[in-house]
Structure 1
C-alpha cells in the first residue's frame, strides 16, 4: 500500500489499481468541526484536479479534488450521518471515495508522506 498527498491536502491510499481518497489530518484540523460532506455519484469519471467532493465545517466549505484521474467505485456513506468521522479519523474511517485509477503515472506527481510532512512544516 502506498500513500500520496497533494498540495491541497488530499491523500490517496493506493492498493493495486484502486485509490482511497480523503483529506489529511492537517486539513481536517484547519477546517475545524466537519458538519457536512457531499460525495460524488458512484460511476462518475473524474480527471485529476476535478472537484470530487465538498466538505463543510463550522468555519468554511472546501472542495476536495481528485488527486488522480479515475472512476468513482465507492463512497463512504457513513459520512452522511456522521461527518465528524473526518475529524476523528481522517486517514481511516473518514475517507471520502474510492477510485479505479485510470492513469497510474499521475501518482508520480504527488508527494510521499515524508515530502508532505516537509510541505506542512514549510507552511505552518
Structure 2
C-alpha cells in the first residue's frame, strides 16, 4: 500500500507543478482564474509531499491518507459533474476518473492493509 500511496503522491506533485506552469504560460487568463489555478496547483504539490511523508509510516499516519481518499472522491465527483456538463468537449474525463479510482482504492484498501476499521481511520483512533 505504501508504494501505491507514493506513486499517487508523485502524480499529485507532477499535476500541481504542471498546473502552475500552465497558469504562467496562459496569457488569456484573468487574475481570478490565474490565482485559483496557481493555488490549486500549489495545494496539489503540498498534498503530494504530505502523502510521501505519510507513506513512510502508514500505521501512524494512515488517517491522513484516508482523508485524502475522501478528498479525492469529493473532488473527483465535482470534477466529473462539471466535465459531464461541458458541451464544448474540452474537459477530459480521465482526470476525474483517476481521482475517483484512487480515492476508492484509498477508502477500501487502506483499512484492509492496516487492519483497522475505516471509521477508526477517519477518526484517527489507534484501535
- TM-score under structure 1 length normalisation: 0.22
Structure with bigger strand share is 1
Structure with bigger helix share is 2
- TM-score under structure 2 length normalisation: 0.22
